[in-house]
Amino acid sequence: MTESIIRNQWMTIGTDDKKINFKTKSRVKTGAKGIGRFALDKLGRSSIMVTKTLESESLVWDVDWNQFENTGAVISDIKATLQIGNSDFWGEIIEMQNFTGLKKPIIDYWKEEKGTLISIDNLKDTWDEKATQSLFSNLEILLPPLETNIFQVFLFSTLDPDSYGKVVPTSCDDYDYKITTAVGEDQSVKIQVFRNELNFGNLKRIGFFEKSKLNQAQYDLAVFEKGIFEMSTTLETLIAGFKDIDINNNLSKIGAFSFSFYFMKRGGGQEKDEEITKYPYKSVNYSNRTNWLDKFGGIKIFRDNFRVRPYGETKSSSFDWLDLGKRALSNPTVTRPGYRVRPQQVYGIVNISRIDNINFEDKSSREGLQENDAFSLFKEILKSIIEIFENDRNQIMMTLKKIYDDANKKRKAQEEAEQIIKNKTNANTALQTPIEVSAEKETLITAIQAYKDDIEELQDEQKILRVLASAGLIVTSFAHEFRNHTDSILPRTDELKDVLLQVIDIEKLKQLPDFFDPYVMLSDMRKQDERLKSWLDFSISSVRKDKRTRRTINMVTYIEGLEKIWSSLLSRRNIKLTIDKWKFIEVNFKGHEIDLDGIFNNLITNSVDPYKRPDAGDVREIKLSFDFNPQEPNGISVIYQDYGPGLLAEISDPNKIFQPFFTTKRDDKTGEKIGTGLGMWIVKSTIDEYSGDVEILQSRPSFKVKIILPHNL
């Protein structure tokens, strides 16, 4: 540092110099609050700093921090001394070398006669072996990873000169998945996905590539053999589901950055023999991996190669700052659709720069970044990148499970078990001689029968949960309707009282304008009540008890009721509902009415939101066309179509909408996902349960699907 910098910046509290002059010839400065130097006072009671530039003489700055302890002392009373040209810089380094008694000369690390030396004396803490080891470990965590490190840190101890030395940055080579992401200044995104979890040879031997139904290029044999696949996109595409101008403004505040994400499954369950047979994992030392994750795990932020704490700090509340744990509560099981990773299984490095991301401002405490809209959106971008890994691993593991189940004749075993139950039942009915079976077979028969009973109970419970989820989706979709009405309903009686007190006779009433006429106000309130009643009736009818009973349903009658309810509700959004019915009088469907509600209510609800988008056209219509072929086993055919803008262009695979928790609905400001992602999953799972079929015929513009349902003559 120069004399001017020491006097005007180093000794000025709270200076904003680093905000203005944030870059030197070689690096971007860190820190911006002007208080970091007071860490010297935290460590010792006095400090001496020797500093030199190539052009200037050596400067010696000396301060006694004990001055702060004087009674009544104010900051202006605290003085430091500054001596110019009173020190030999090389001599100071050699003296420090001699004092420490270290074998490797410190002077070897100085190439030119410039730099800064700080001596902290009269230490306030006891620096024993335990404290020194703790410091060394913390320096490992604070350093940027090897691939981005631009400086070196050494720790030497006079108590034990041979025990420490260079602090080596951490590296992560033992991973199951690795994703590297580079976001450019133009918001282009380049992503590389490295697979390292499964043994490629074993995948070939079990016939994964022949039996898999995964038809995307990333699941080809050549891609697996290479171990990596790449994709290019943009931030706007990565965060699909918002078009609001506020979101786009926040997106423009996101500058260039990089993100390296690692997934490492821990031991405890997944390494069992059955699991290894089902999923050809590579051999892993889970003990070493667990210890490494316990020390270095978590997703950390580095700004200009300096750690931004406390993000990813182990054993702290900010360890899971992306809320991965909350996401994983929905489904941490990789063999079920919608898998979400646990935070204890990941390690990540986010690299940002003060230059490219000026909207990420420090908190006043210097512990983390301010939670503004831009940073909230940034977190959603990181989670969208993590979803690429989750979806890829999810699809592979579900496919492996299916291949394993088919190879082990699971379905055949179930059929044989049912036959055992049938034989035993027939023998009892015909009063035949009891079959001598072992205790194990008796236990097996009892367990299987109980298992079947449990499944039926769970299926009934699932039907109720479906309709409750559907009702929740509908209420959420039209929530602003209720909010608007609440604002006008609560104060209306008081307003009416105030007006009526002013109206004494009919003549005076006639003199009032319409907006003061209580009868006009009552008329408006009645219209609001009617709208509110229609919504309440709809919500209540969705969970009516008779809808939870399996029975024969006249589809013509059902469709007429659906049309009656939805026509009035959609008309408020200026959306027309058209239903083309068949010409015959009666077609029967045997099942639960709540299942039909789950199909059609969710389809209609998901069609309403796209009409709010700026790319929605002028045609505001939803159309259902029904047909019936008694010769076909699944004879009820439904063509559902809306004339909105269709699925977002960012959704490359339309069938992803059927995955649980897949949603493109986001908060207008933060970009955070707010949709449940269950609506279309409910549609498909319900149709699958009845052995029906659903096919997307058109995804954009407009949305069109074909549904096949069984009939009961």
Q: Which residues partner with 343 through β-bridges?
A: none
User: pLDDT category, 260, cuts 50, 70, 90?
Assistant: very high
Q: Tens digit of pLDDT for each residue in 132-170?
A: 888 888 887 777 766 556 677 888 887 787 788 788 877
626/684 same-domain check = yes
401/441 same-domain check = no
645: nearest Cα among 603, 611, 679, 621: 611
**Structural domains of the chain, count:** 3
Whether 130 is in a domain gets the answer: no
Whether 534 is in a domain gets the answer: no
Flag whether pLDDT at 101 surpasses 50.
yes
Of the chain, the percentage scoring pLDDT greater than 90 comes to: 17
437/384 same-domain check = no
668/564 same-domain check = yes
Tell me how crowded residue 624 is: count the other CB atoms within 10 A of its CB.
22
378/459 same-domain check = no
Cis before residue 710, ω within 30 degrees of 0? no
376/454 same-domain check = no
341/437 same-domain check = no
Cα separation, 89 vs 56, in Å, equals 11
Domain boundary residue, one of 91, 125, 159: 125
The beta-carbon contacts of 24-28 under 8 Å, at least 24 apart in sequence, are: 27/150, 27/304, 27/305, 28/304, 28/353, 28/354, 28/355
| Degrees to nearest 5, angle at CA 237 with 235 and 240 | 110
**If you average pLDDT over every residue of the chain, what do you get?**
77
For residue 235, give its domain range: 177-407
Whether 434 is in a domain gets the answer: yes
364/430 same-domain check = no
User: pLDDT category, 344, cuts 50, 70, 90?
Assistant: very high
Flag whether pLDDT at 390 surpasses 90.
yes
Whether 65 is in a domain gets the answer: yes
705: nearest Cα among 604, 592, 561, 577: 604
Whether 12 is in a domain gets the answer: yes
Whether 141 is in a domain gets the answer: no
User: pLDDT category, 393, cuts 50, 70, 90?
Assistant: very high
660/690 same-domain check = yes
Domain boundary residue, one of 125, 147, 169: 125
Whether 142 is in a domain gets the answer: no
395/460 same-domain check = no
Domain boundary residue, one of 93, 125, 157: 125
CATH classification at residue 632:
3.30.565.10
Instruction: Dig out the tokens for 166 from the structure.
Output: 């260079």
109/207 same-domain check = no
Cα separation, 17 vs 33, in Å, equals 9
Q: Are 151 and 305 in contact (CB under 8 A)?
A: yes
Residues 6+ apart with CB under 8 A from 257: 183, 350, 351, 352, 353, 356, 357
Cα separation, 604 vs 710, in Å, equals 21
More confident residue, 296 or 615: 296
Cα separation, 350 vs 17, in Å, equals 26
Whether 369 is in a domain gets the answer: yes
Cα separation, 533 vs 552, in Å, equals 29
- The amino acid present at 563, given as its one-letter code, is E
Using alpha carbons, list the distances in angstroms from residue 67 to 8, 77, 691: 21, 8, 83
More confident residue, 433 or 565: 565
Using alpha carbons, list the distances in angstroms from residue 614 to 29, 551, 610, 617, 647: 43, 44, 9, 8, 13
User: pLDDT category, 610, cuts 50, 70, 90?
Assistant: confident
The pLDDT score that the predictor gives to residue 259 is 95
Q: Which helix (H) or strand (E) holds 108?
A: none
567/631 same-domain check = yes
Q: Which helix (H) or strand (E) holds 447?
A: helix 439-477
Q: Are 588 and 623 in contact (CB under 8 A)?
A: no
The pLDDT score that the predictor gives to residue 342 is 94
Q: What's the pTM value of the predicted model, to 2 decimals?
A: 0.61
Q: Which residues partner with 577 through β-bridges?
A: 622
Look at residue 53 and give its three-state secondary structure: coil
Cα separation, 233 vs 474, in Å, equals 33
Using alpha carbons, list the distances in angstroms from residue 475 to 462, 512, 685: 20, 39, 21
Residues 6+ apart with CB under 8 A from 50: 58, 59, 60, 61, 87, 89, 92, 116, 117, 118, 119
The pLDDT score that the predictor gives to residue 28 is 55
